[in-house]
Chains A and B, each alone.
Chain A
Amino acid sequence: MSENTARTGLAATPGQTIGPFYGYALPYEKGEQLVHPSHPQAVRLHGVVTDGHGAVVPDALLEIWQADGTGAVPTADGSLVRDGYTFTGFGRAAVDNVGHYTFTTVDPGPTEPGRAAFITLTVFARGLLNRLFTRIYLPEDTAALAADPLLRSLPAERRRTLIARREADGSLRFDVRLQGEEETVFLTYPNLAD
C-alpha cells in the first residue's frame, strides 16, 4: 500500500467491494464470448478463483481486455450487445457455483514486435474491497517471456502465477489465487493510489 503520488490536486475516488448481488446487474448475454465458439481461432480461456484456504470463490466477476490476433488494440464498440462478428477485445464473466470461469476469445498477438503477448485481467469479488489487476501471459513465446520487463522483475516462483498453461485441447488455463500458496501476482500502476 503506497501513498497517493498522483500529479494533480484531484484525489481519486476510492473503490469498494462489488458485494454479493451484482449477478443480475453486471453479467450480460454473451459477455464472456469475445468471439463465437465456432470461430476458427476460438480459444477457451478458463480457470478457478480460490481463497486463502484454497476454497473456490463462487461470487467473483472477471473482466478481460486484450489485443486481437494481430496485436492491434480494438477500437470497435459493441461489447455489451454482441453482433457475433466484431472483435471488441473486452469480455466479462461471472464465476459459476464452483468458482469456475470461461471466456471464449482468440490468442492476442504482441502489441509490439518481439514483446510477450498477454491478456489484462481485472478481478472483482465479494470480500475483495477493491478490484485487482493482473496479466495472463501466453506460454508459447519463451524468448519474449524471458525478456519481459514485468516477468523479469519477479522471482521465478511468483512469475509462474502469471503464465497461462496451454491444455491438450488448445485451451488456456489460468487460475486466480487471491491468497496463500501460489498467490497470484497482482499489479499496481503509476498514479494509482493503492
Chain B
Amino acid sequence: MTDQDQGQEEAFVHLTPKGPDDAADTQADLDREMAQIAEQYEASGRTETQPRLDYAPYRSSILRHPTKDLHHADPETIELHAPAFGERDVHRLESDLTIQSGGEPIGERIRIRGRVLDGDGRPVRRQLVEIWQANAAGRYIHKRDQHPAPIDPNFTGVGRCLTGDDGSYEFVTIKPGPYPWKNHHNAWRPAHVHFSLFGTDFTQRMITQMYFPGDPLFALDPICRSIVDPKARERLVARYDHDVSEHEWLLGYTWDIVLSGSNRTWTEGDSNV
C-alpha cells in the first residue's frame, strides 16, 4: 500500500456502529474510531470526568445506553442517606484474597490500599468496599468465563472490607492478568480489579475498575477510553508505592477514590463529621 492509498483510506474511515455480535473489527478499526472520538472531544473544549454511556467502540453499550439526557433531580431524604454496613456484614479476613481457600494462590502477591473520600475531601467512614478480579492467568471463576486459561483452585478473586475512620481500605490479593474478550478481533482487557463503593449518601453509589501503571493495553481498551478525558482516565490507575511493598513478601499499590455526590449538609448529630 502506497502512502497515498493510506491517506485515502484514512479519509474514508467507516464509522457506522456495528451490532453487538459483530466481532469482525480489528484493533486498528477500533483505534481509528477511538481516535476520532478523542479528537472531537479535544476540539469541543469541554471537560468530561465520567465515562460516556454512549461509546460505540464498546459494542455492548450500543443497545444499552439511554438515548435521553439524565434528568436532574433534587435529592430527597432517602437519597441523602446510605445503607449501613458493619462488623456483622464483613469479617476482617475477607480483605485478604490469598487466604480464602486451603492453599496459596499462584501469582504476584500485592497489597492495594488507599482512602475513600467524599467530594469535599472528608473520609467515607465505616462503609463497604467490595472487589472482584481475574486470577494471575486472566481467568475469572465464573461459569460464563470460558477463556482457556487455568483456574486457580486457591483463588476466588472476591474480597470485601469496611473503610476505617480515616476512610482507608486495604486488600491483599494476587495481581490479575489481562484477559481476552469478544468486543473485536484480538481484543484484550488491561489487567484490572473491579471496585464497588458506597458513600455517605446513595447518590455516591458507584462501581469502577482500578488499573495498573504502565499497562500497554490501556490505550487499546474501549472500556477505559469511554472516559474520553485522558486526565480523568488516569484517575483509575493505581500508583506503585514502594512504601507499601513488604520485604520478601509483596508489592504495594496505592489508589485513592473520590465519591462526589449530593452530600447533605452535615449536622452535629452526624457520625461522619
Contacts and interface: CB of A to CB of B under 8 A. Distances in A.
Contacts of B258: 10-13
A185 B223 CA distance: 24
A67 B105 CA distance: 42
B178 interface: no
A194 B64 contact: no
Interface residues of B, number: 83
A112 interface: yes
Contacts of B83: 65, 74, 77, 79, 88-90
Contacts of A57: 64
A127 B88 contact: no
B120 A16 contact: no
A93 B102 CA distance: 30
Interface in A109-152: 111-112, 115, 118, 120, 122, 124-133, 135, 149-150
Contacts of A183: 66-68
A55 B21 CA distance: 14
A75 B50 CA distance: 30
Given A125-B64, A192-B261, A120 B70 contact: no
A191 B67 contact: no
Contacts of B58: 17, 127, 129
B225 to A, nearest CB: 11
B85 A80 contact: yes
A76 B88 CA distance: 11
Contacts of A23: 142-144
Contacts of A122: 202, 205
B61 interface: yes
Q: Could you say which interface size class chain A belongs to?
A: 35 or more
B187 interface: no
B73 A131 contact: no
Interface in B121-171: 121, 128, 130-132, 134, 140-145, 156-158, 160
A180 interface: yes
Contacts of B86: 77-78
B63 A53 contact: yes
Chain B interface mostly: loop
A37 interface: no
Contacts of A126: 60, 64
A28 B154 CA distance: 20
Contacts of B203: 133, 189, 192
Nearest to A187: B73
B232 A15 contact: no
Contacts of B70: 1, 132, 186-188, 194
Interface in B45-59: 46-53, 55, 58
Interface of A: 1, 3-4, 6-8, 10-26, 51-53, 55, 57, 63, 65-67, 73-81, 88-90, 108, 111-112, 115, 118, 120, 122, 124-133, 135, 149-150, 153-154, 158, 178-180, 183-194
Interface of B: 20, 46-53, 55, 58, 60-79, 81-86, 88-90, 117, 119-121, 128, 130-132, 134, 140-145, 156-158, 160, 194, 196, 202-203, 205-209, 223-224, 226-227, 232-233, 235-236, 257-263
